[in-house]
Structure 1
């Protein structure tokens, strides 16, 4: 399991190094994750090596949200003061995202000719 953890961190480090050295707009951990996913897909041996570590991390994933919850509780008064603005931002951004998604879907359907016909 130590080898698997070392490999996991090595992929993250390689992605970070690549992202910074090439000034890519993609975060290093994302590059490392894509590279590791390719290795997992292409190598059954690598998959077997990483499986126990990944299952262990995923089974305790909820613990990774504890620091965020503590931060929210620690700044509860500030969040309370900004509550109406945050609620409005969430509602408006959700509505805009749904509208843009629907418009994009409609535009792509028209461009590809797969628009439904009315009978």
Structure 2
């Protein structure tokens, strides 16, 4: 029963993100809004980490299953992906390298401040 309550909390923030996204006059991803709301509530300690501990560990362990629908959806657009494959690969490599560099610099700066 505890895991169901924890999962309900996550679903509540997902629903709030969807609700706010539908009200906004511009397009913004509902999942990002829900995650930001959850983050704010965690920082303000309205929701405690222990309230989400078990279900978050469970979802993290089974994360691969959550990507199956996404991969199936991408396969519908394989013809378009095939036409732009080189551009997509270059974009993925460049963005990955930039992400590694930025995260490394931020981590290095964070370790200096300790």
Same fold (TM over 0.5): yes
Cα distance change on mapping 1:44 and 1:24 into 2, 3 Å: same
TM-score (norm 2): 0.63
Instruction: Compare 24-33 and 87-96 and name the one that shifted more.
Output: 87-96
After TM superposition, the structure 1 = structure 2 runs for residues 1-119 of structure 1, keeping only pairs within 5 Å, are 1-43=3-45, 46-70=48-72, 79=78, 83=82, 85-91=83-89, 93=91
Deviation, structure 1 residue 66: 2.3
Q: Tell me the secondary structure at the aligned position of residue 25 of structure 1.
A: coil
Q: TM-score, normalised by structure 1?
A: 0.61
Residue 22 of structure 1 deviates from its aligned partner by 2.4
3-state SS, counterpart of residue 67 of structure 2: helix
What is the distance in 1 between the residues matched to 2:80 and 2:32?
A: 34
Kindly report the root-mean-square deviation, in angstroms, between the aligned alpha carbons of the 2 structures.
3.2
- In the alignment, structure 1 segments of 5+ residues that lack a partner are 102-119
- TM-aligned CA deviation for residue 41 of structure 1: 2.5
Q: Distance in 2 between matches of 1:96 and 1:5?
A: 36
Question: Is the 2:18–2:31 contact (alpha carbons within 8 Å) kept by the matching residues of 1?
Answer: yes
Matched residue, 2:112: none
Distance 1:33 1:60 in 2: 19
User: What is the aligned residue count?
Assistant: 95
Distance, in Å, in 2 between the alignment partners of 1:52 and 1:95 is 35
Larger Rg: 1
Which structure is richer in relative contact order (CA contacts within 8 A, separation 6 or more)?
Answer: 2
